[in-house]
Structure 1
């Protein structure tokens, strides 16, 4: 029994690390959604132009609602950073030098540090609350892309900690190009969505007809004029993503993730329609963003399973499709 104790201990430690890694992914999704609430509620200036302090204090006294919202975002973001640091340390202790888990964990740390830097610049440059500048739209777009990269790195870290094989990046054939198209489509939708959400925050419409009319008005703000790009990009990208997922559904290794991707795209399409119909209330924006993050995570898992060593012994898009018909 003593001989088996080290093995049991190792397995228990691996299980704890696996749960911790996926917990870090989940926590970061919640932080991202709360960050959207900061923007939608115009609370980004709740701590003034101070960073990392809030109105010059470590813990500000109870006061304005905007201060509470912004301070909570910074606090939860700080916990997220500590979680990623813990994930890096734990991964370095558990896995050998050069292991792919170590690399993914380090990239997670890099992206969350960039995330903090972008957040700090938004505050210091006062690109928050009612700011209507082009710079704010640019920073928000970069913020969105980096957020997706952070989520992707964290998801891959947790995925490979869970025992799945690393990717094989040689001889991908059409699979690699299709996946690249799916990720590019998701990023375009994300960026246009960030700009549309900013327009909805700064210039809320009182009716659907008014909102549509403003999009084609020469006097409208550029974020309003560009708002139509998001639904168009969403329709086109949905077609691309669903096509890729449908093709990869024929492989046993990728079928589960492919079905999840297709399901989330369907849910997002419905949520998008509801969001437009209801004139983008804050609660619906947050739900819409949550499923956007879920779709990105599902896409990452689909790619990881498609590019895994076993799955890419042959190109999943050209491999026999007997699985799909059995």
Structure 2
């Protein structure tokens, strides 16, 4: 299992890097750095030494390496853990979404895509990262036991049975799905270049509710959606601390989710404040890292709820 631990960890870290580099491509407008050629860059195996082409081609190269790692992890899981439906779901889910986002990225280079479709590219990459992360956490915490032949053994869950009410499970699943919607809207803001639609924070162009047209409407909807996510996560954190059966793992996960939500909103504000400055790229990339971590934590809490339902 040691080799599988390192392989799954490398896949998760790699998918996180792919997410980061994809955001860098978008923020630096390097998507056309290789023209309409794929997998070559402007018809060459080694691209011209321009910033845009190097950023785009580096993203492609790293994505290819990570794709191989994800494939190897899926094969290893099939060889060692195919008795575990959960491990197989995460391993082959990561492989599926890695291939899907790669195909979508290639099509975006060869054929112009709408902003709505390009926002899905980030969304699929995020799901690939989350499933890779969940597989890694499951393996490294001992949630899956290698088959010993015959019918094998049932997989353990880390920490044993996690107490969780049906209501709590539903709230967590709603928050996870809703967070994906917020992420998609954020990706849509980036691809439509609507970040400047709402200048100032927390007010939008000096108004509580601005005129909901064009870039302003898109940016404002994202802000409202983010506030809704904060309310959801805060309520879950309150229930985990005050109302739920004692579970240190659930409380810790809820606290991390709340912290990351607050930091994500703060980083969103810093993106607005840094518009037009040298800090803009850094704050935008930090925003992507934080929202990816938040989605990963919420997905893990959803898995805890799923396990509790199976056990209960």
For the Cα contact (< 8 Å) 1:28–1:151, is it kept in 2?
Answer: yes
Distance 1:85 1:259 in 2: 33
Task: State the Cα deviation string for residues 187-206 of structure 1 (Å, max 9, x = none).
Answer: 1211121122234x478579
Q: Is 1:195 the equivalent of 2:196?
A: no
Q: Is 1:142 the equivalent of 2:104?
A: no
Distance 1:207 1:110 in 2: 39
Structure 2 CA distance for partners of 1:216 and 1:205, relative to 1, 3 Å: closer
Partner of 1:323: none
Structure 2 CA distance for partners of 1:268 and 1:91, relative to 1, 3 Å: same
For the Cα contact (< 8 Å) 1:24–1:84, is it kept in 2?
Answer: yes
* TM-score normalized with structure 1 length: 0.78
Distance 1:296 1:185 in 2: 10
Give the deviation of 1:154 after TM superposition.
Answer: 1.1
Mark the runs of 5 or more structure 2 residues left unpaired by the alignment. Answer: 144-155
Distance 1:202 1:258 in 2: 31
Partner of 1:317: none
For the Cα contact (< 8 Å) 2:194–2:219, is it kept in 1?
Answer: no
Q: 1:67 aligns with which of 53, 56, 63?
A: 53
Distance 2:195 2:286 in 1: 20
Partner of 2:67: 81
For the Cα contact (< 8 Å) 1:253–1:305, is it kept in 2?
Answer: no
Distance 1:161 1:213 in 2: 49
Give the deviation of 1:112 after TM superposition.
Answer: 0.5
Q: 2:265 aligns with which of 269, 273, 288?
A: 269
Q: 1:237 aligns with which of 215, 229, 233?
A: 229
Q: 1:42 aligns with which of 6, 11, 29?
A: 29
Partner of 1:53: 40
Task: State the Cα deviation string for residues 109-146 of structure 1 (Å, max 9, x = none).
Answer: 1110101111012111234xxxxxxx22x112322332
Alignment of 1:232-311 (within 5 A): 232-249=224-241, 250-279=246-275, 281-309=280-308
Task: State the Cα deviation string for residues 194-230 of structure 1 (Å, max 9, x = none).
Answer: 122234x478579649x83899568x7x344311111
For the Cα contact (< 8 Å) 2:195–2:219, is it kept in 1?
Answer: no
Distance 1:230 1:202 in 2: 10
Distance 2:179 2:195 in 1: 25
Q: CA RMSD in A?
A: 3.0
Structure 2 CA distance for partners of 1:176 and 1:217, relative to 1, 3 Å: closer
- DSSP 3-state at the match of 1:104: helix
Over 6 Å off, 4+ runs: none
Q: 2:138 aligns with which of 160, 165, 170?
A: 160
Distance 1:124 1:276 in 2: 32
Give the deviation of 1:253 after TM superposition.
Answer: 3.6
Distance 2:195 2:220 in 1: 14
Give the deviation of 1:27 after TM superposition.
Answer: 1.7
- DSSP 3-state at the match of 2:298: helix
For the Cα contact (< 8 Å) 2:194–2:218, is it kept in 1?
Answer: no
Distance 1:283 1:155 in 2: 24
Partner of 1:175: 168
Partner of 2:80: 94
Structure 2 CA distance for partners of 1:224 and 1:126, relative to 1, 3 Å: farther
Distance 1:35 1:42 in 2: 10
Alignment of 1:305-320 (within 5 A): 305-309=304-308, 313=311
Distance 1:216 1:245 in 2: 31
Mark the runs of 5 or more structure 1 residues left unpaired by the alignment. Answer: 1-13, 128-134, 315-326
